[in-house]
Structure 1
Amino acid sequence: LGLRYHGPFDDLSIQKGLDHFVIPWDEVSDSDGTGIVHIAPGCGKEDFSLSKSNEIEVIAPLDEFGNYLDGFDYLTGKNVDDVTPEIFTNLKEKGIVYLIDQIKHRYPVCWRHGTPLVFRLVEEWFISMDEMRYEMMDVVKEINWIPDWGYEREMDWLRNMGDWMISKKRYWGLSLPIWECKSCGNIEVIGGYEELKEKAIKGWDNFKAHTPHKPYIDEVEICCSKCRGAVKRIPDVGNPWLDAGIVPFSTMHYLTDNEYWKQWFPADFITESLPGQFRNWFYSLLAMSTVLEKRAPFKTVLGHALVKDEKGNDMHKSAGNAIWFEDAAEKMGVDVMRWMYTAHNPEHNLNFGYTIANEMRKKLLTLWNMYSFYITYAEIDQFNPYLVDPEKIEYSDLDRWAMAKVHTFLKEAKADYDEFHAERLMRRFEDLLDDLSNWYVRRSRRRFWKSGDDSDKTAAYYTLHCSLRLMISAIAPIMPFIADEIYQNLVSSVNPDAPESIHLTSFPKADESKINTDLLEEIDTIIRIVEMGRAARNKANIRVRQPLSVLQVKVRYPHQKQFVVKLADQIKEELNIKEVQLLDDISSLVNYTVMPNLPVLGKKLGKALGTVRNELANMPVNDVVAAVKARHSLQVAGHTLEADDYYHKRKR
């Protein structure tokens, strides 16, 4: 360590006067290769970091086009992709080549074109963030993060962040307002249009009618406040995240109408893809707001994962798996697309495609079919819900159950919207659709088929109309087009006083008086029994049209027995059963098999395992099962078996 040596390119002009010496580095392994690495601080991230900590002079060889700069002699002006053969020839001519070989290793490539990339060291402008770090962390605590682990992810970034690079070597972009004097090194940051106009000594007339972009802004020169020389703006433009971060202030008249700005700040809600935004948009918003106001720029942030193709791969035009919005909107429909997005857990990637969209379309068709069913029969009977006094209708328990379901949904939907949980809302909506279509509408069909005026039919019409109207009002923000289409026929066509669009109506409020929890439990219990009965038929491959004599039922709670007794006829009708029997004990219907826990007992008993296993198999099954359920020990062949040493399987 510390030895000086002659380098392989000391003959280049750029290398004159530079020392080469040996330093230690933790990243070099003595188990791979020679244990010696020749670094180039201007050509690699790790090499550059090592040069900073060891005060090594850095040479950056390439311009923005990948061509070698002056001082590299025979390489100057040539592109980095074209000079490999010349470099090999030069090394051979100098007699310093030991071996030329090919080694497979990881190398960066362009994500779009797949072409190799080279590391280029350039000078950029940074904002020192150390003084702001803890102030920003205090601001982060004010924000509601969805998902909640987003808070810790942002805090982790703030704990470990470096200085913020704010410049870009680009043409288009908001020009950085920095004028750097080449004579004395003085730097001046211009704070606004009026200040620049006041300090300009050249080029103002060419710029004044334009926005602060190239090339117009670059014509403006100012007088250096120290040496009084003419100063030009630096050629860099700003990092686009500077623009994104200042939006809450620049677009809402922060400097010109602060009272107006206060009406809109902070934002109630923002949303963006999680990967990357903790150090990009969220970060830039937080930085700007912390500096200017010392508080959060938004109240709630919803972060979501990525949209992939149906196989879980990234979408790329070059890969041929990208789906353009216009195509998806035309083929699957925008409301289907919106349902797909909102019903998905935002923490996980969404596999997007037409196959998945078709599954969503089936759910949407359930809503449409309910609506079509109502419209078809309402038109036949000329039923107008706005000409009916709802207080005089004699509702059935089934009607009251449906309205209890709908108003429970409205109550929960309001909370889900308030808490920005769209996926939870859509799960509830799907459950409600299933309940109303597969139970209420199906069991009410005959009520709509009655001829003439009938109070029971009126109750069914009014209940279904209210259910549909309230449901579409609740999901209109998520499925705006289908909701308004249904609204036009369901409401506007029969009520001339109704608002023109569903989106001009208020969000529906839940009526607590209509949420009958006892009735909900009663009918939900019957539905569950019917669902389990159908599942049992399917498992036994016995169709519903084949009548069976008895259905035996054991309810979970004693008070549910009265539900079964009251609605036994509905159960029999749904399952094509002649009799429903309530059971208190199902042990006679269950066969148990006692099994030793071999991984545990094998270590514990050794050679005695076989004897214990045989005797355990011959013991009264009910005694063993009782011991398992009570977590008691068991004496078997002179050995004490604890509760975890054995278990039972049951087969009905």
Structure 2
Amino acid sequence: EGVICRHPFVAGRNSVVVLDEYVSLEQGTGCVHIAPGHGTEDFEIGRRYNLPVISPINAQGYFTEEGGIFAGRFYLETNKDILSELTRHGALVWQETITHQYPHCWRCKNPVFFRATEQWFASIDGFREDLLAAVDRVRWIPSWGRDRIYNMVANRSDWCISRQRFWGVPLPIFYCAACGEAVITQETISHLQDLFREHGSDVWFARDAHELIPPGMRCPACGGTEFTKETDTMDVWFDSGSSHWAVLTQPEYWPGQRWPADLYLEGSDQHRGWFNSSLTTAVAVTGDPPYGAVLTHGFVVDEQGRKMSKSLGNVVDPLEVMKELGADILRLWVCSADYRTDLAASSNILAQTAEAYRKIRNTFRFLLGNLYDFDPVRDRVPYERLLELDRYALLKLHRVIERVTKAYAEYEFHLVAHTVYNYCVTDLSAFYLNVLKDRLYCEEAASLPRRSAQTVLYDILYALVRLLTPVLAFTTEEVWRYIPVAGEKPVSVQLCDMPEVQPEFIDPELEDRWERLLVVRDEVMRALESLRKQKVIRDSLEAAVKLFAGKELYRLLSAYRQQLPSILIVSDVDVLGLDEAGPTTVATGQEDLRLAVERAPGEKCARCWVYSEDVGRDPNFPDVCPRCAGVLRRMG
């Protein structure tokens, strides 16, 4: 360290040997050259050793006078001549061509040449600890975002805020023509603010320095009165990072806004960009972060996780998707995926989303179709008179409201989509709506069983249309047109409040009973499906079921004996003790339950399709069961 070396062919230019940890003994000779004027790491090492910053190549890539015999030549054209000069002086030990990685411009794909140039910087060290403290006062979604930006702030260098571009926000700096002193004072800033407010920031580029400097201004260093203006522009991250102040603190332009922002939302690359620059400008001025929460999402990739590009032919055009499938399917796809990671898009994935959408839409159609004669004011059944199954369905609805509301509050949009989808497919279509068909189609129009069902169907519809509005904005607006509403109806569902959980509908004992009944139902459904595959029955109503249950389950099933046929959608159910189960009964996944399924005796009712030995008992209605005969008689 400190050994002085003579330049091979430039007289008087010596170099000093310095040390640094990035030089490896595993690669190369263990000795590398550095150029403090042409590399970031080299510049930092040079600054540490107080080396001169020599940059003999100008902004156009040509050697300056510092380049000696190569002055005026383009740097890439001098390689052979430099090698020849080294050879002539006996300084070239070895020469070969290698392949290595080298940075290239992302836009034009040409190799990048590094030069040390004078720039304007914003010092970070003076308030770095304030920045780190501000990071911990923000809610980061997902939580790993906190560590990512914290480490970036902790390790970042001073912020280079100047750019050599001909467009952008100007750097409001003047230079004394006599001594070169940079002039930026409160007086010059206030004067420029007035000019910008009246003429816009383009006034900086349209006018000369003497038209921009405050009248009578003198250089604070030498008293000079002639000035030039800075030609560099501001780093775009500086002005975008100041947007919170421009938007949220100027009520004359943005009435009703307040600082700080509730939420910043961008892709995961913005921890280094917008999130970081906004935090820096805000803490520098106010000491506080400019946002209460920051949400980060991934990027859209193809089904194999590859970045989309025209060359790969894997681009999914959202406009084409909307033309083919509709905007709501695109919205549902976005909300169904966990945005915290990259989102996969393909024709296959969107087709699956379209199928999920179809099931949700069919649920809306069923609900609307069975409320055609229901007036929510005239026909509503009070909670205490609702049938127990309907009270359970209302409870399940409020469990969904509870989960969805929590998911929205926590920005877990994929949980919103999955919760509502599973509710429509499993709780409604596969169970509740299926069970209700008998009541809706076969009971008298104004009977308590039917109105009880319609009351809950209405509540489900009214809640679902509001829960899904942020996701399926167009579909819910379409549904809203057909929903009768008590009182004055808002012109749009977008103007409605979100549904809220009503604690009086949450009955844990009721929930426990029906959850146990549904376990039994699942076992029966499996047995019925097996018989369908064997072609023993075609429809569940062709079956009669015997349930052999342990003592506790027996008591529960016996209490619901009259409701079990409709719950299981079979023609008859018999409840027996587990000790009565014979060798031909079927074991289930429950230790206290066995069952037997056989064809239901009797004839099929032409109206409700339930098999009964009493079909035709009423001579006036020879092809229906007694229940349906009574309904028909009362209908006249």
Where does 1:178-577 land on structure 2 (aligned, <5 Å)?
178-181=173-176, 183-189=178-184, 195-196=190-191, 209-212=199-202, 215-216=205-206, 219=209, 220=211, 222=213, 223-229=218-224, 230-254=226-250, 264-275=258-269, 277-379=270-372, 382-391=373-382, 394-434=385-425, 435-450=427-442, 453-455=445-447, 456-491=449-484, 497-531=488-522, 562-566=555-559, 569=564, 573=568
- SS of the residue corresponding to residue 477 of structure 2 reads helix
CA positional deviation for 1:96: 3.8
Query: Could you list the per-position Cα deviations for residues 12-51 of structure 1 after superposition, in whole angstroms to 9, with x for gaps in the alignment?
Result: xxxx643212222322233333222122223333222222
Equivalent AA in structure 1 for residue 415 of structure 2: R
Aligned equivalent of 2:146: 151
Equivalent AA in structure 2 for residue 440 of structure 1: Y
Are residues 578 and 397 of structure 1, via their aligned partners in 2, closer, same or farther at CA, if it must alter by over 3 Å?
closer
In structure 2, stretches of 5+ residues that fail to align are 580-585, 589-636
Query: Could you list the per-position Cα deviations for residues 519-548 of structure 1 after superposition, in whole angstroms to 9, with x for gaps in the alignment?
Result: 333333333444466568889995696599
Does the 8 Å CA contact 1:401/1:519 hold for their aligned counterparts? yes
Identity fraction in percent: 24
Mapped partners of 2:415, 2:17: distance in 1: 61
In structure 1, stretches of 5+ residues that fail to align are 591-652
Are residues 225 and 523 of structure 1, via their aligned partners in 2, closer, same or farther at CA, if it must alter by over 3 Å?
same
Does the 8 Å CA contact 2:544/2:570 hold for their aligned counterparts? no
Higher mean Cα deviation, 137-146 or 63-72?
63-72
Counterpart check, 1:168 vs 2:163: yes
Does the 8 Å CA contact 2:104/2:110 hold for their aligned counterparts? yes
Give the total of aligned pairs.
Answer: 570
CA positional deviation for 1:293: 2.4
Does the 8 Å CA contact 1:530/1:571 hold for their aligned counterparts? no
Does the 8 Å CA contact 2:335/2:413 hold for their aligned counterparts? yes
Does the 8 Å CA contact 2:248/2:260 hold for their aligned counterparts? no
Does the 8 Å CA contact 1:310/1:353 hold for their aligned counterparts? yes
CA positional deviation for 1:500: 0.9
CA positional deviation for 1:264: 1.0
- SS of the residue corresponding to residue 158 of structure 1 reads helix
Mapped partners of 1:122, 1:69: distance in 2: 14
Mapped partners of 2:193, 2:160: distance in 1: 29
Mapped partners of 1:290, 1:332: distance in 2: 46
Equivalent AA in structure 2 for residue 302 of structure 1: L
Does the 8 Å CA contact 1:177/1:190 hold for their aligned counterparts? no
- SS of the residue corresponding to residue 270 of structure 1 reads strand
Are residues 156 and 358 of structure 1, via their aligned partners in 2, closer, same or farther at CA, if it must alter by over 3 Å?
same
Query: Could you list the per-position Cα deviations for residues 180-203 of structure 1 after superposition, in whole angstroms to 9, with x for gaps in the alignment?
Result: 33543433325588733599xxxx
CA positional deviation for 1:332: 4.1
CA positional deviation for 1:112: 4.7
Equivalent AA in structure 2 for residue 408 of structure 1: R
Mapped partners of 2:120, 2:105: distance in 1: 25
Mapped partners of 1:157, 1:213: distance in 2: 36
Does the 8 Å CA contact 1:534/1:544 hold for their aligned counterparts? no
- SS of the residue corresponding to residue 264 of structure 1 reads coil
Mapped partners of 1:177, 1:350: distance in 2: 42
Does the 8 Å CA contact 1:207/1:216 hold for their aligned counterparts? no
CA positional deviation for 1:240: 1.6
Aligned equivalent of 1:607: none
- SS of the residue corresponding to residue 361 of structure 1 reads helix
Are residues 441 and 30 of structure 1, via their aligned partners in 2, closer, same or farther at CA, if it must alter by over 3 Å?
same
CA positional deviation for 1:362: 1.8
Are residues 536 and 402 of structure 1, via their aligned partners in 2, closer, same or farther at CA, if it must alter by over 3 Å?
same
Are residues 62 and 311 of structure 1, via their aligned partners in 2, closer, same or farther at CA, if it must alter by over 3 Å?
farther
Mapped partners of 2:368, 2:511: distance in 1: 27
Mapped partners of 1:545, 1:271: distance in 2: 58
Are residues 143 and 488 of structure 1, via their aligned partners in 2, closer, same or farther at CA, if it must alter by over 3 Å?
same
CA positional deviation for 1:177: 1.4
Does the 8 Å CA contact 1:537/1:544 hold for their aligned counterparts? no
Are residues 327 and 45 of structure 1, via their aligned partners in 2, closer, same or farther at CA, if it must alter by over 3 Å?
farther
Does the 8 Å CA contact 2:565/2:572 hold for their aligned counterparts? no
Does the 8 Å CA contact 2:248/2:257 hold for their aligned counterparts? no
Does the 8 Å CA contact 1:534/1:575 hold for their aligned counterparts? no
CA positional deviation for 1:504: 1.4
Are residues 21 and 82 of structure 1, via their aligned partners in 2, closer, same or farther at CA, if it must alter by over 3 Å?
same
- SS of the residue corresponding to residue 172 of structure 1 reads coil
Are residues 576 and 460 of structure 1, via their aligned partners in 2, closer, same or farther at CA, if it must alter by over 3 Å?
closer
Does the 8 Å CA contact 1:75/1:83 hold for their aligned counterparts? yes
CA positional deviation for 1:583: 6.8
Query: Could you list the per-position Cα deviations for residues 626-648 of structure 1 after superposition, in whole angstroms to 9, with x for gaps in the alignment?
Result: xxxxxxxxxxxxxxxxxxxxxxx
Query: Could you list the per-position Cα deviations for residues 62-110 of structure 1 after superposition, in whole angstroms to 9, with x for gaps in the alignment?
Result: 4444444443356545544555445445545555433332323222233
Superposition RMSD in Å: 4.0
Aligned equivalent of 1:635: none
Does the 8 Å CA contact 2:381/2:451 hold for their aligned counterparts? no
Aligned partner (choices 105, 108, 120) of residue 110 of structure 1: 105
Equivalent AA in structure 2 for residue 396 of structure 1: L
Mapped partners of 1:262, 1:573: distance in 2: 56
Query: Could you list the per-position Cα deviations for residues 312-348 of structure 1 after superposition, in whole angstroms to 9, with x for gaps in the alignment?
Result: 1223345443334423433443322322333333332
Equivalent AA in structure 2 for residue 31 of structure 1: E
Are residues 392 and 5 of structure 1, via their aligned partners in 2, closer, same or farther at CA, if it must alter by over 3 Å?
closer
Aligned equivalent of 2:94: 99
Does the 8 Å CA contact 1:572/1:579 hold for their aligned counterparts? no
Are residues 411 and 113 of structure 1, via their aligned partners in 2, closer, same or farther at CA, if it must alter by over 3 Å?
same
Equivalent AA in structure 1 for residue 441 of structure 2: W
Equivalent AA in structure 1 for residue 248 of structure 2: M
Does the 8 Å CA contact 1:6/1:20 hold for their aligned counterparts? yes
Aligned equivalent of 2:616: none
The TM-score with structure 2 as length reference comes to 0.77
Mapped partners of 2:527, 2:368: distance in 1: 36
- SS of the residue corresponding to residue 145 of structure 1 reads strand
Are residues 397 and 589 of structure 1, via their aligned partners in 2, closer, same or farther at CA, if it must alter by over 3 Å?
closer
Where does 1:36-51 land on structure 2 (aligned, <5 Å)?
36-51=31-46
CA positional deviation for 1:502: 0.2
Aligned equivalent of 1:58: 53
Mapped partners of 2:169, 2:571: distance in 1: 74
CA positional deviation for 1:369: 0.4
Query: Could you list the per-position Cα deviations for residues 256-301 of structure 1 after superposition, in whole angstroms to 9, with x for gaps in the alignment?
Result: 879x9896122222222233x3332222222222233222322222
CA positional deviation for 1:463: 2.1
Does the 8 Å CA contact 2:248/2:261 hold for their aligned counterparts? no
